[in-house]
Amino acid sequence: MDAKSETNLPKRVVRTITLTQEDLSLLDGIERVMSRTGLRIKTDSKLIRAAIQVAHASLHDEKYNIMDIAEKVVKEDGRSLSRLLAKDK
């Protein structure tokens, strides 16, 4: 990945979170919905970020587009971006 692409990525903060089995089940459900967009959103961090975006919009009565959220989450993930850039070359 080139330096310009890295500077466009959001700052990452590492946190440890504890999830219940129910939380993980719900994440699996989110993954199934998000995968229908055609984008691979397999990692828990991407799923959690997508869920946060949807929850935020819902709490503030804002409209949201699940495809836009999926694209944003995938584009902002450094690992995904590096694979996408490699495919473009």
Distance CA 61, CA 45 (A): 24
Q: Give 1's contacts (C-beta < 8 A, 6+ positions apart).
A: 78, 81, 82, 85
In whole angstroms, what is the distance from residue 31 CA to residue 46 CA? Answer: 9
Could you tell me if residue 57 is inside a domain?
A: yes
Write out the residue range of the structural domain in which residue 77 sits.
20-88
How does the average pLDDT of the chain come out, rounded?
77
CA separation (Å) from 39 to 21, 31, 58? Answer: 25, 10, 22
pLDDT tens, position by position, 57-73: 999 999 999 888 888 88
pTM (whole model) above 0.75? no
Lowest mean pLDDT among 23-27, 37-41, 84-88: 84-88
| Domain annotation covers residue 4 | no
DSSP class of 12: P
- What pLDDT is recorded for position 62? 95
The residue among 67, 79, 1 whose CA lies nearest residue 36 is 67
The number of folded domains in the chain is 1
Q: Is 29 part of a structural domain of the chain?
A: yes
